[in-house]
Amino acid sequence: MVVGAGFAGLALLRSFRDECGLTVTVIEAGDDIGGVWYWNRYPGARCDVDSTDYSYSFSPELDATWDWTERYAAQPEILSYIHRVAELYDLRRDITLGVRVTEAGYDEQADLWVVRGDDGSVVSGRYLVMATGCLSAVKRPDIPGVEDFTGTVLHTADWPKDKVDLVGKRVGVIGTGSSGIQVIPEIVPVVAELVVFQRTPTFSVPAHHYVLTDADRAAIRTELPARRERLRRSSTGLSVPANPRSALEVTDEERQAHYEEQWNSAGFGFLLAYSDLLIDQAANDTAADFIRGKIAERVDDPATAALLSPRTYPYGAKRPCVDTGFYETFNRPNVTLVDISASPLVKVTETSLHTTTSEYGLDVIVFATGFDAMTGSLLRPDIRGRGGQSLRQHWASGPLTYLGLATAGFPNMFVVAGPGSPSLLGNVMVSIEQHVEFLADLIMSSRAAKTPVIEAEPEAEAAWVAHVNRVAQGTLYLAAASYYLGAEVPGKPRVFMPYAGGLRRYRRECEEVAADGYRGFRRTPTAEGN
Ligand code: NA7
């Protein structure tokens, strides 16, 4: 059984069913497939990674029949792509839509997972793969009085399917992460007034988005196999080359010229301008200063530019953004930036949003406040492993995984793109495909050896968690209150969750584990001896 029919769930279904010959059922909470790309329908939603790189690599047939229209695909086009994949591989027949998994328990006698849905349905199967996404459990801040608001309340990650009319409205957007940064410039031309409530400023660089021409597409097609191989072997899964040099080993002039060049083309890859931006504070400062300088150039009012300039954490330590016209939005007369770190939001009334110092009359409130990241979608259902132990209990002090894929005491349960994997720190598509390949091989080789029950050994899990922590210690990631660190939800354990060693190193670790007879996984026959 697979939970979730986003990119990960669909890749699992195709691989496990069509390549491994397993019987697969996918359970999906949404009324349609697509995962984050189903739910995040807000205006301006688009991928931050080049469409070509943010697509499946398993099928030349699929590649041959699909052409992206833009450098970064918008949400509707990504969803169309997902629908195309489902059609091409006849995936829908094994997907149950509109059922949210509420419980999953391991039956130790039968060695089966028993999964319950919110519609009362019960299904069971030998393997349970959680493909529920690392950014899918929607986070709605608990501001008193929201239910009294007579206007419209929206969340970017749960945007209505029907068109929302924002023309001539007074709109407040809370949050300036990737979603806020995309939705704000998109809606500003039509709204009467826009009030942006910012708690922490974000580092954003220009996306350099453009419509692909026939010539672009022809070039992409020609280089696709080599590009895919490059991505597969890279540390980030991005096609922007990583500069191996230190930011501190070049002259100020040379560095400035390089940043300028990257600024004018790299998009998300700006983070790869030098090799030590995420490990050396002095190196990071050079990039952060450069970006702050650009913000000052793009925003007319110096006080607003200062508010939009991050100063409390290193560039890249929180998920950096790419934008199209975000900073310029604040030069419009109908846009106000409110610093809610200085004056926090305190309440909502029928017509207004209140901070400690002011009241803002609004027709629409947009929460762009993100997710309970990485663990949210895994801990919202009640998952119980051996001896009825709950995952919530097992992970009470933070997620414990082996390779980010399995957790001790929960045999035959796997996670794709979960905590402990590098998925959030690079192109998630490359991680997803690597995880799916690894799991397919692990499961099939275990079944062939008549040891189909697979469980992470506690020692292997402890060693991996320690390794993930050790790798993070050598980076600047720990210097920001980010969702990588569990800081996005009050009371969440402060543990660095993604694997910061990069995709290349992670893939090598997985290959070594496999070559070593899947070291760290205990593989046994079923209780019934099958
Ligand atoms: P993010 O990146 O988590 O951003 C959420 C934003 O909302 C961020 O600016 C937060 O400020 C703000 N926020 C969150 N909770 C609150 C509360 N309670 N009050 C005020 N402001 C709040 O989510 P996105 O949806 O933008 O992007 C998610 C991912 O999608 C992104 O990383 C890409 O991978 C694509 P904070 O920084 O916490 O102070």
Report residue 513 as tokens.
Answer: 């584990």
Give tens-digit pLDDT for 353-398: 999 999 999 999 999 999 999 999 999 999 999 999 999 999 999 9
Give the atom of ligand 1 at the shortest distance from the alpha carbon of 179: 26
Residues near ligand 1 (Cβ within 6 A): 135, 141, 156, 174-180, 199-200, 319, 340, 368-370, 483, 488
pLDDT reported for residue 20 = 98
> So what's the pLDDT on residue 158?
97
Mean pLDDT of 128-155: 96
| Residues pairing with 198 in the sheet | 339
CATH number given to 2-33+91-138+373-524:
3.50.50.60
For residues 379 and 466, give the distance between their C-alpha atoms in angstroms, rounded to a whole number.
Answer: 22
Residues whose CB is less than 8 angstroms from the CB of residue 198 and which lie 6 or more positions away in sequence, other chains included: 175, 176, 307, 308, 337, 338, 339, 340, 341
Q: Residues 433-437: what's their mean pLDDT?
A: 98
- Would you say 53 and 429 are in contact if contact means Cβ atoms under 8 Å apart? yes
Q: Looking at ligand 1, which atom is closest to the CA of residue 182?
A: 26
Instruction: Output the CA 318–ligand 1 centroid distance in Å.
Output: 10
Q: Which residues contact 518 (CB under 8 A, 6 or more apart)?
A: 442, 445, 446, 454
pLDDT band at 38 (very low <50, low <70, confident <90, very high): very high
ipTM above 0.95, yes or no: yes
Mutate which of 40, 343, 427, 488 for ligand 1? The one with the most ligand atoms within 8 Å of its CB, which is 488
| Per-residue model confidence (pLDDT) at position 512 | 98
Q: Residue 527: its pLDDT value, please?
A: 86
**Nearest Cα to Cα of residue 443 among 186, 129, 216, 156:** 129
pLDDT in tens, 439-450: 999 999 999 999
Ligand 1 pocket test, pick from 179, 271, 482 with the greatest ligand atom count within 8 Å of Cβ, gives 179
Determine the pLDDT at residue 529.
Answer: 79
Containing H/E element for 117? strand 112-117
How far does residue 339's CA lie from ligand 1's centre (Å)? 14
What is the tens place of the pLDDT at every residue in 96-135? 999 999 999 999 999 999 999 999 999 999 999 999 999 9
At 240, the pLDDT band (50, 70, 90 cuts) reads confident
* 143 CA closest ligand 1 atom index: 18
User: What are the domain boundaries of the chain?
Assistant: 2-33+91-138+373-524
Q: What is the pLDDT of residue 241?
A: 84
Residue 239, pLDDT score? 85
Counting atoms of ligand 1 from 1, which one is nearest the CA of 40? 25
From CA 193, how far away is CA 171, in angstroms rounded?
6
Confidence (pLDDT) at 509: 98
Give the pLDDT mean for 400-413.
Answer: 98
pLDDT score at 266: 83
- The CA 394 to ligand 1 mean position distance, Å, reads 27
Residue-averaged pLDDT of the chain: 97
Q: Which of 41, 178, 340 to mutate to test the pocket of ligand 1 (most atoms within 8 A of CB)?
A: 178
The continuous run of DSSP H or E covering 521 comes out as strand 521-524
Q: Ligand 1 centroid vs 371 CA: distance in angstroms?
A: 7
Best mutation site among 199, 377, 427, 431 for ligand 1 pocket (most ligand atoms within 8 Å of CB): 199
In this prediction, residue 395 carries a pLDDT of 98
Ligand 1 center to 368 CA (angstroms): 6
Q: Given this model, what pLDDT does residue 181 score?
A: 98
pLDDT, tens only, 209-232: 999 999 999 999 999 999 999 999
- Say which residue the tokens 């560039």 belong to: 315
Task: Look at residue 530 and tell me whether its pLDDT is greater than 80.
Answer: no
Q: Stretch 30-46: mean pLDDT, rounded? A: 97
DSSP string, 393-457: HHTTTS---BTTTB-TT-TTEEESS-TTSSGGGS-HHHHHHHHHHHHHHHHHHHHHTT--EEEE-
Find the 1 Cα to ligand 1 centroid distance in Å.
31
Q: How far is CA 459 from CA 19, 401, 505, in A?
A: 32, 11, 21
Distance 175 CA to ligand 1 centre (A): 5
CB-based burial label for 521 (10 Å; 0-12, 13-18, 19+): buried
Of 472, 469, 477, 460, the closest CA to residue 403 belongs to: 460
**Backbone Cα Rg of the chain:** 23
HSE, CB side, 13 Å, CA atoms: give it for residue 470. 6
Q: How far apart (Å, rounded) are the C-alpha atoms in residues 242 and 264?
A: 16
User: Which amino acid residue places its CA nearest to atom 2 of ligand 1?
Assistant: 177
DSSP designation for 341: T
Distances in Å between the Cα of 423 and the Cα atoms of 159, 267, 427 are: 25, 19, 7
Residues 426-449, mean pLDDT to the nearest whole number: 97
> What confidence score (pLDDT) does residue 528 get?
82
Is a pLDDT exceeding 90 seen at residue 197? yes
CA–CA distances in Å: residue 169 to residues 157, 400, 463: 21, 46, 54
Q: Coil, helix or strand for 226?
A: helix
